[in-house]
Structure 1
Amino acid sequence: MSATTSARRSAGTTTVRKPKVSTGRRVSGWLWTLLAVAVALCWIFTVYWMVNSSFLSTVTLQKSTPTWLPFGGSWDNFKNIFADGTFVKALSISLGVTLLTVLVAIVVAFLGALAISRFRFKGRKSFILAMLLIQMLPAEGMFIAQFKMMASWGLVNNILGLTLLYAAAVIPFTLWMLRGFVAGVPAELEEAALVDGLSGTQAFLRITFPLLAPGLVASAVYAFLQAWNEFTIALVVMQDNDVRTLPLWLRGLVQASATRETHWCLVMAGSTMVAVPVIIFFMIVRSKMSSGLVGGAVKG
């Protein structure tokens, strides 16, 4: 066999060696994985225990031996939740306030993020600093002023008044989130579209806006969770029992017993029903967020 042939064969059978991973890195990776699984199990268990307790009776739940599976349970707690109609009314109020808050917060924050990222104007840095300082103010310190303002406008026990307060609380951080997304989209993309013959509005709608879809969805998720779970502002503004949001309704459920004994099974059923709309919202948003990320990557 000639030297040329052997060289060709050796060149043809050359394999690429994979970099070796040290044993220490493997052990560290396994430890972090086990820690993440343990934390996930602890989080999942709390949700499971809430759902499990909602099917049990008060006597069963108060036993010293925990009931891990709801065998023999019933839907009585859920039937009691819907019996007087207060849950449905509180649900409609919470949905209305939350959706209005998300709409107002996204529109205002999006326009503000565009102004901060795309334009240079006097007082821009001061505005950004003031926006961050507002987030540091404790909400409790503004309760009296907020209540007096809503009372002077006749918006106490009013969905519109609560929406304004929620939007004011959510907009600063939402604007800050969207500012990062807008700043990450190069302005040269719009300039190239203008050169191709598109108008300013067409360039924004066809080029920039699709790339900002993931940021808009992420900001909407934040606004939704803040408005849906908010308790203290609603407690101050919505004082009438007929206009309670779901957190206030759940608090009333805890204090409903005349004997001061909390029926935790009923509370767990109410908590489960409060969580259902959030789960549905996340199932919808998850698919839209994935499509937005893919679409933005392709268009970029």
Structure 2
Amino acid sequence: MGDRRVSHWWTAGGLLILVWALFPLLWMVSLSFKDPNTFRSESPTFFPKQWVWTNYKTVFSDSLFTSALRNSIIVALVATLLSVIIAMFAAYAIARMDFPGKKFLLSMALAIAMFPQAALVGPLFNMWRNLGIYDTLLGLIIPYLTFALPLSIWTMSAFFRQIPWEMEQAAQVDGATAWQAFRKVIVPLAAPGLFTTAILTFFFCWNEFLLAISLTSTDRARTVPAALSFFTGASQFQSPITAIMAASVVVTIPVVILVLIFQRRIMAGLTAGAVKG
């Protein structure tokens, strides 16, 4: 009886946390369907009295948002692909090989991941202007890659450590080269780790704001999180709040769907290596 009562308390607590976490998202969706001309003049209601698509039409007719959405997709995909490829080889070397400074290298990777981005904005701003890559997609991909690599290496090295060393040795005994054993045996077995790393890296690049707002100045390379701060309504007489909410829904809902679909793989990647069998 006591265990059942405790389980009920845990269920109630979980539902409370779920409601607390979902409330901002539901409020954002609700605002995105409210009429921008009247939503402030009416008495406040959680759900709109009249559901309209005006805000979404405004968003997709604005070149600021469409160009930012394109930039976000390009930057996030390129940074994710490069991060996964580089981290795959680095994590394999850390997990499989013994070389001087291996623990120091992994510790430095974690130190970089914890280093505050705000401290690097000023130096990066000056460097990028001198190098001619300020306000370019390359100028965003490089720092995104720098901050995404430590987490990618840490996650993937845990997966590589779980793969039995004997499987790679057996492939080499059968005549496979070291590269063939790595490509045909190790990489397929580490696919869940690669997938998890790709998802986490993509989320980081997709949601990053500080570097995106500091290292861009025009629509040429500005990503969605930065572009939303410059977003306006359909005219100067309309409040931009509902349009901003519509744009936020467009870029948030796909991420939420990905998390719900691949939550088990994400958790597997975060907890890999936590228990030694």
Q: TM over 0.5, yes or no?
A: yes
What are the Cα deviations for residues 3-62 of structure 1, in whole angstroms up to 9, with x where unaligned? Answer: xxxxxxxxxxxxxxxxxxxx2222112211121122112222322221111111246533
- Kindly provide the amino acid, as one letter, of the partner of residue 265 in structure 1: T
Task: Tell me whether 201-210 or 216-225 shows the greater mean CA deviation.
Answer: 201-210
**Separation of aligned partners in 1, 2:180 and 2:41:** 66
Mark the CA change 1:91 to 1:208 in structure 2 (over 3 Å): closer, same or farther: same
Unaligned 5+ segments in structure 2 are 270-277
2:262 alignment partner, one of 276, 286, 291:
286
What are the Cα deviations for residues 140-161 of structure 1, in whole angstroms up to 9, with x where unaligned? Answer: 1111211122122210011011
RMSD of equivalent CA atoms: 2.7
Query: Which residue number in structure 1 is paired with residue 110 of structure 2?
Result: 132
Task: Tell me whether 183-192 or 234-243 shows the greater mean CA deviation.
Answer: 234-243
Contact 1:238 1:244 in 2 (8 A): yes
What are the Cα deviations for residues 224-256 of structure 1, in whole angstroms up to 9, with x where unaligned? Answer: 111111111111111124432101111111699
- Number of equivalent positions: 268
The answer to whether 1:47 aligns with 2:47 is: no
Query: Which residue number in structure 2 is paired with residue 233 of structure 1?
Result: 211
**Separation of aligned partners in 2, 1:287 and 1:57:** 35
Mark the CA change 1:148 to 1:199 in structure 2 (over 3 Å): closer, same or farther: same
What are the Cα deviations for residues 64-121 of structure 1, in whole angstroms up to 9, with x where unaligned? Answer: 7443333422111111112232211111111111101101111111111011111111
**Separation of aligned partners in 2, 1:280 and 1:91:** 18
State the SS of the aligned residue for 2:262.
helix
Query: Which residue number in structure 1 is paired with residue 273 of structure 2?
Result: none
The answer to whether 1:75 aligns with 2:53 is: yes
2:245 alignment partner, one of 246, 258, 268:
268
- Kindly provide the amino acid, as one letter, of the partner of residue 16 in structure 2: A
Normalised TM-score (structure 1): 0.80
Normalised TM-score (structure 2): 0.86
1:63-102 equivalence runs, <5 A: 65-102=43-80
1:180-259 equivalence runs, <5 A: 180-253=158-231
Query: Which residue number in structure 1 is paired with residue 149 of structure 2?
Result: 171
Largest Rg, 1 or 2: 1
Q: CA deviation at 1:279?
A: 4.4
Unaligned 5+ segments in structure 1 are 1-22, 294-300
Task: Tell me whether 163-172 or 31-40 shows the greater mean CA deviation.
Answer: 31-40
The answer to whether 1:38 aligns with 2:16 is: yes
**Separation of aligned partners in 2, 1:279 and 1:99:** 17
Task: Tell me whether 112-121 or 56-65 shows the greater mean CA deviation.
Answer: 56-65
**Separation of aligned partners in 2, 1:286 and 1:117:** 25
Q: Which has the higher contact order (CA 8 A, sep 6+)?
A: 2
**Separation of aligned partners in 1, 2:43 and 2:239:** 19
